[in-house]
Structure 1
């Protein structure tokens, strides 16, 4: 009963996207089974990258691994990007050009486009970082069942942090979300998910 109450309260705070995420946090095995989560609507979007507008539809014909995060994230985002880096490193020379990693910053107040691209470039040279206005980001994250919220941290040098979901979305060559992979899985699991749709 307590778990249900906590889940309802957090779902009200975080929105629908947080509901399924929170449910996983309180499950008996303390993990989210991404295979049982409903796939999000997803869909095309256009945000800004360091070299101009970037649309998801530009990558038709490739598998896209999409992630929502922010460059100042202390732990979850670096772990997610390290997983993606390792997965890309396990792809062969034929597979790698067919895969595009896309990092969407949900912290446009702090993450400049140049900084986002430097951040993702640290993990892999092929990764692209983008962001946009808050209204755009909110609409896109809703379609992907993702969530984020700004949390003030008084007295901290960072001033605020951002709570956010942590899924890697595997999008097929036609632009449809096919799988949701947890951020901290062994890279081989992400590789397998990518290869299922190549």
Structure 2
């Protein structure tokens, strides 16, 4: 049988509760939301550029009507570039001949000190005959990378290659009108790359 709490304890708890309710006042918040929201970085917009290839100057303004597939890397890259270009090549192989004529894959080397135009030719074509290797001066490359939101930096190392280049590894699709259409993240499977290319080809 429940005999309940002793009457003395009940009176003590009631008195404590009355004191809390009588004397306690809520404290004002000490943390205020910021008066100004943090600035949001402007999204990259892409843009036209002129770089060099073994065929001569490549001016993207002359490529209107084609979908450009742009990748920033370098031929000494040990693993990331071969993986990315291998995935791209697998997607390009699935395009019809007519579709392939309407795309221009561009491999932009951010290592102009070592990547000659002839070497870029053989490197790009090793992965797919339609991939054209291009490069330019360090100032040109820095500006173009910033346009597309790409990033890279040279990292010194004690080896035969002297340095490596840390770089982002996304693909950038530019539509027929020369606008940055979409960014394909590194590691995207060939089937998804293929879908993205076809979507850009069919965009109006």
TM-score range, shorter chain: 0.7 to 0.9
Gaps of 5+ in 1: 1-19, 21-37
Q: Match of 1:122?
A: 126
Structure 1 segment 37-116 matched on structure 2, within 5 A: 39-116=43-120
Q: Note the alpha carbon deviations across 1:152-179, whole angstroms, 9 max, x for none.
A: 002x111100000011001100111111
Over alpha carbons, which structure has the higher Rg? 2
Kept in 2, the 8 Å contact 1:168–1:182? The answer is: yes
Rounded to whole Å, the distance in 2 between the matches of 1:172 and 1:64 is 7
Rounded to whole Å, the distance in 2 between the matches of 1:43 and 1:56 is 9
Indicate the SS of the match to 1:94: helix
Rounded to whole Å, the distance in 2 between the matches of 1:57 and 1:75 is 32
**1:126 Cα deviation (Å)?**
1.2
Gaps of 5+ in 2: 1-40
Kept in 2, the 8 Å contact 1:42–1:143? The answer is: yes
Structure 2 residue corresponding to 1:188, chosen from 191, 199, 203: 191
Structure 1 residue corresponding to 2:152, chosen from 134, 143, 148: 148
Runs of 4+ in 1 over 2 A off after TM superposition: none
Alpha-carbon RMSD across the aligned residues, in angstroms, is: 1.3
**1:39 Cα deviation (Å)?**
4.9
Normalising by structure 2, report the TM-score: 0.76
Rounded to whole Å, the distance in 2 between the matches of 1:42 and 1:101 is 15
Q: Note the alpha carbon deviations across 1:39-91, whole angstroms, 9 max, x for none.
A: 52110000010121111122210111100000000011001110110010111
Structure 1 residue corresponding to 2:161, chosen from 128, 144, 158: 158
Indicate the SS of the match to 2:192: helix
Rounded to whole Å, the distance in 1 between the matches of 2:197 and 2:56 is 27
Normalising by structure 1, report the TM-score: 0.78
